[in-house]
Amino acid sequence: MQPGVVHQAHDVKTRRIGLIAAWGRYPIIVAEALQRQGYDTYCLGVKEHADEAALLPLVADFRWIGLGALGAAIRYFRRHQVQQATMAGKFHKRMLFHRWTWVKHLPDWTALRTFYPHMIGTHGDRKDDTLLSTLIGAFEKVGVRFLPATDFVPEILVKFSQLTHRAPSRAQRKDIEFGWRLAREMGRLDIGQSVVVKDRAILAVEAIEGTDECIRRAGLLCKDGGFTVVKLAKPQQDMRFDVPTIGIGTLESLAASGGRVLAIEAGKTIVVDEPQVIAMADRLGLAIVALDEATALAGPTDAETAA
């Protein structure tokens, strides 16, 4: 089936869609796109993540849901005859390690049964791919199929280009090549998406804290600034969740910490509010490039080497 065909069906059940909305602007952009495309969107806003005020005018129904309320989420979609759904936004995974998190987000029986091996038992891990695949699998068992949110807003995936007026220098292109190899291996191990380097030395590696905190930590370690951030999709990236995303907040963290270059993967990275991101980067004198693997690993061009 060609992408988009499912979205043109006229059966009432296929014109309904579920949305699990987490943190950030991305869920709002997805909800706007679904509204334009004529969907009745039944939205579950993750507590302490979603922006209710922005989402309410865009959806047919909105309900808050705790991180542990998997059974309630399944019942909500089934009650509204939702057979397809998508998710968008960032989940603050570090909340799992906050004191009293599971009191505020009390797991129901379905969540306990589904996530027991990962959250209580010793047989499963808590990698992002593991937890999110388990979540989607629980929905699919009851007939709710998850689709990539980028199917509805394909234009949000960045295209191969130098986005900013400023280009990386020869030394920074070498750092991109060095960081790209590291970030790709980190992704293969499902550790994180971003690595920060300068002069082919590793300053910081993203783990559970997220990209912005990783960048800030690099700034504390490298007071001279001038470093490069490389952010990539995993080699095994499932486009239904955890797709690399940058936005205004990423640039604010980069500029405040002294970073100068951001390299991202073309076709597999979401740029939220791209025109505003580019304009801000140009004002700040930052360089942003969206590359493919071959170009990134080729290093500086002959022209750059001669410069």
Task: Quote the percentage of the chain above a pLDDT of 90.
Answer: 71
pTM of the model: 0.84
- Residue 111 makes CB contacts below 8 A (sequence gap 6+) with 68, 69, 70, 71
- Angle 259-260-266 (CA atoms, 0-180°, nearest 5)? 105
Mean per-residue pLDDT over the chain, rounded: 87
pLDDT of amino acid 11: 47
CB–CB of 147/85 below 8 Å? yes
- Among 145, 169, 158, which Cα is nearest to 240's? 145
Residue 121, pLDDT > 70, answer no
Instruction: Give the pLDDT band (50/70/90) at residue 68.
Output: confident
Instruction: Give the pLDDT band (50/70/90) at residue 119.
Output: low
pLDDT of amino acid 6: 41
- Can you tell me the distance from the alpha carbon of 272 to that of 24, in angstroms, rounded to the nearest whole number? 9
Tokens of 143: 């007939």
CA dist 28 to 98, 218, 277, Å? 27, 30, 17
| Distance, first Cα to last Cα, the chain | 49
Residue 56, pLDDT > 80, answer yes
CB–CB of 233/264 below 8 Å? no
Residue of higher predicted confidence among 96 and 65: 65
| Domains of the chain, each with CATH number or no CATH | 6-151 (3.40.50.20), 157-301 (3.40.140.80)
Comparing 44-48, 99-103, 181-185, 295-299, which segment has the lowest mean pLDDT? 99-103
pLDDT of amino acid 34: 98
